[in-house]
Amino acid sequence: MTDVKTQIDETVKANDVVLYMKGTKSMPQCGFSSRVAGVLNYMGVEFSDVNVLADDAVRQGIKDYSDWPTVPQLYVKGEFVGGCDIITEMTLSGELDQLFEDNGVTYDKEAADRIREANG
């Protein structure tokens, strides 16, 4: 398990934005992963995706790494942000915009505003 933890730690720290998800950003394999990947894609955020379905050790390892029981899991600048519900709430409140701005992550502010307008 240490090797998996090291692999996850290196991935999280080497990429500004990482989404551990079921499937890939271009082909999500569950609704929750699809929602988070869809938000990031729509907002034009460059992110690395890790398909937990491709490796059972990573699928369990990411849950142990974050002490969070579910996937997807979003990391920004090495820090765990949350899963689908948290990312949805942060998107609608504008907190996700602020997190990206605070961490120098490029995103489309107008797209973020459109998401809020459509869900307001």
Percentage of the chain surpassing pLDDT 70? 99
Domain that holds residue 40: 2-119
Q: Are 52 and 20 contacting, i.e. CB atoms less than 8 angstroms apart?
A: yes
Q: Are 104 and 98 contacting, i.e. CB atoms less than 8 angstroms apart?
A: no
Average pLDDT of the chain? Answer: 97
Q: What are phi and psi of 18, to 5 degrees?
A: -130, 135
Distance between CA 29 and CA 13 in Å, rounded?
25
Distance between CA 103 and CA 81 in Å, rounded?
12
Q: What is the mean pLDDT of residues 84-107?
A: 98
Q: What is the mean pLDDT of residues 80-96?
A: 98
Query: pLDDT at residue 64 above 80?
Result: yes
Its pTM stands at 0.96
1-33: per-residue pLDDT in tens?
A: 579 999 999 999 999 999 999 999 999 999 999
Q: Give the CATH number for residue 115.
A: 3.40.30.10
**E strands in the chain:** 17-21, 48-51, 73-76, 79-82
Q: Into how many domains does the chain fold? A: 1
Q: Which residues contact 72 (CB under 8 A, 6 or more apart)?
A: 19, 20, 21, 22, 32, 33, 36, 37, 83, 84, 87
pLDDT band at 120 (very low <50, low <70, confident <90, very high): confident
Q: Which residues contact 90 (CB under 8 A, 6 or more apart)?
A: 81, 82, 96, 99
Query: pLDDT at residue 65 above 70?
Result: yes
pLDDT value for 78: 97
